[in-house]
Amino acid sequence: MQVYNLPSNPKVLIFDIDATLYTCPEYAHEQIDCQIRHWAKLNGYSVEGARNMIADFRRKWAADHDGKKISLGNLFTSFGVSIETSIEWRKTLFNPADYLHRDENLIAALTELSKKFYMICVTNNPVEPARKTLEVIGISEFFPEIVGLDTCMASKPSKKILDKAVEYAEAALGSKIEYTDCISIGDRYDIDLSLAIELGMGGILVSGAEDVCGLVEIL
């Protein structure tokens, strides 16, 4: 876990979901790979060839952007796959119940955090599969709102996604929320944290649910 720029009096915790609120590398990988396999099938590519094309694009993009990473949704747009198409794929291609299960330790940790903070999820998956993931883990009740790929029609990192999360927080809390009132929590610095920190939010880089459980002591 790495902590960046924690506000003195935070009010809002903005959570990524995948590989943040669960620890299951197999499922995190499958969500990416099943889309690549589907794209390969639609275009008549071999699966290995498609994987190599995506990997080559990622390497070149990182080399041209100071080593930063790009989300799969944003990457696919360079191959003619729109955000709208990515949304439809993500609604049908994978099922969290095949990989994930209820996490009592995480439930206990979020119960404590919810007493002090408004919590919201921001994800590059559409809202529907994201909600299913939270339900399988047993934590859906802690996140009344999800900002998904289909909420703003944009993939992280995107300022309008973070602004929508702040908007939801303001509506729930009934008061003005500044970026400096928020902490973004996720497993990928470039995707989940860098923009949030640039805007003035705090950031916490985690490697799964175990780290999230540790937030109770830190926050």
Q: Are residues 107 and 19 in the same domain?
A: yes
> What digits encode the pLDDT tens for the residues 118-164?
999 999 999 999 999 999 999 999 999 999 999 999 999 999 999 99
Can you give the pLDDT at residue 105?
98
Q: Are residues 83 and 143 in the same domain?
A: no
The pTM (predicted TM-score) of the whole model is 0.91
Residue 76 to residue 83: CA distance in whole angstroms:
8
Domain end residue (candidates: 97, 124, 151): 97
pLDDT band at 106 (very low <50, low <70, confident <90, very high): very high
Can you give the pLDDT at residue 181?
97
* CA 127 to each of CA 9, 114, 152, 217: distance values in angstroms, whole numbers, following the listed order: 29, 21, 11, 30
Q: Are residues 82 and 180 in the same domain?
A: no
Phi, psi of 188 (to 5 degrees): -125, 115
Number of domains in the chain: 2
* CA 157 to each of CA 161, 162, 193: distance values in angstroms, whole numbers, following the listed order: 8, 9, 8
Can you give the pLDDT at residue 99?
96
Within 13 Å and on the Cβ side, how many CA atoms surround 171?
Answer: 9
Q: Are residues 159 and 206 in the same domain?
A: yes
> What digits encode the pLDDT tens for the residues 182-219?
999 999 999 999 999 999 999 999 999 999 999 999 99
Q: What is the CATH number of the domain that holds 201?
A: 3.40.50.1000
Structural domain boundaries enclosing 105: 2-24+100-218
